[in-house]
Amino acid sequence: MQNLRTGTDPECRLFQKFAELGHYGGRPGTTRQGTYAATPSGLLLASLNSNDPKRIADMLRRALAKWQTLSRAERLLPNDPQNQVAQIRRPERFYPQDGLVLYVTSRDMPRDTPAAKPGPADWRQQAWNQDYAWFTKAEAKQFLPPQPQVGKQHEVPLAVLNRIACAHLVDNVRGQTTPFEESEVTKARLTTQVTAVDGNMVTLRLEGETRTAQEGLRQHGLAVRLLGTATYDVSKECFRTFEMVALGSRWGGTQNNSRRRDLDAAPIGLLFTLAGKSPCERVAPAFSQHPVYRAVVAVQ
Amino acid sequence: MFRGLIGSLVVVLAAAAPPPAELNDQTLAEWRDRIRPKSAELCFATVPWLPTLWDGVIAAQQQDKPILLWAMNGHPLACT
């Protein structure tokens, strides 16, 4: 969102053109979050920031009514926007087509003590979040021993594991958070063991642990165990299955992750699974600009 | 005491099953299923979203249709 508001590529300019006329337009420094209907040429049809389906439906009706009043020349761009794709400065252009893309979900886990539980009607009890983790083809191979034989164990290199620990083992359950610095990783190990080899398919067991902690005014951290299984096709050089659970505890809070008074250590669970290939699963990781992602995403 | 009240209706609310004690090979699937989003939580994904605004511009230009943009801090299809 920040990039759309302040960037200078054609996508950002188009967004700024209609968003500045929208529900928060003309208010510098405020968010531009919301739902917008616009023409490809950048004309605003309607907008609002609401999760009320009736208000959204009303907005869409107004937008369609306005669309009907516009000529083709008004509503479309004069040139094919496909020609400007190379100018769009989004991290999605670094999507690792032949690498490993994992879908990461996070959720609070059940708590033991009643006092530690949020109230029954609290949205926080149902909160969960998601993200994507990217690895190049070469990095994906680093989850396996060089010569996979049954029983062989392998330590996943820190360069790969630190990306998981810093950018993905984070408490974003209730909202956006901040990543950890590599210096804040106090424990990190992920051991893979070959449990089966069947033709070109190698089955792995993944097991490990991490601990990340930021001290100071807004101290927070996670300590988790990792456990999972995966299968890798050595002929196609890609993972066919991947499931890894991270289970442990989180403590503290960050500015926007809605922990507020919920700062004591409490259980958290994260799940890493293979992402699909649909267009909406090509979204860049939330912390794609973090140094741990330098091997995948060029700094913008 | 109301004799007309024949008996008491006892409603036992089945408590959600407690989680497994620890994460191990036997409990991995159960922990996975506790974390994984349920289909009701993924109903937003039934809409054929495109990942970026410019993808929407290209499609809308080709089809001569308006663009619907869902904009949040973070990304609505990923972390918000």
- Check if the beta carbon of residue A224 is closer than 8 Å to that of residue B23: no
Residue B11 has what pLDDT?
Answer: 37
Chain B, window 7-46: residues with a beta carbon less than 8 angstroms from a chain A beta carbon: 16, 18-19, 23-25, 28, 31-32, 34-37, 41, 45
What per-residue confidence (pLDDT) applies to A122?
73
Closest by CA to A175, choosing from A117, A254, A121, A246, is: A254
Cβ of B28 within 8 Å of Cβ of A32? The answer is no
Q: What is the CA radius of gyration of chain A?
A: 22
Element (H, E) at A99: none
Predicted TM-score of the model (pTM) = 0.90
Outline where chain A has alpha helix (H).
2-6, 10-19, 53-68, 72-75, 137-141, 158-167
CB pairs under 8 A between A and B: 151
Q: Any idea where the domains of chain A sit in the sequence? A: 2-87, 93-293
User: Is A187 in contact with A162 (CB distance < 8 Å)?
Assistant: no
- Ranges A6-10, A35-39, A213-217, B41-45, most confident: A35-39
Q: Provide the shortest C-alpha distance from residue A76 to chain B (in Å).
A: 6
pLDDT tens digits along A42-61: 999 999 999 899 999 999 99
Quote the ipTM score.
0.89
Tell me the nearest-neighbour CA distance from B5 into chain A, angstroms: 31
Question: Which residues lie below 8 Å from residue A25, measured CB to CB, with a gap of 6+?
Answer: A19
Residue B7 has pLDDT above 70, yes or no: no
**Percent over 90 (pLDDT), chain A:** 82
Q: What is the pLDDT of residues B35-50, one digit of tens each?
A: 999 999 999 889 999 9
| DSSP letters for A7-36 | --SHHHHHHHHHHTTSTTTT-TTS---EEE
CB contact under 8 A, B74 and A176: yes
pLDDT at B13 over 50: no
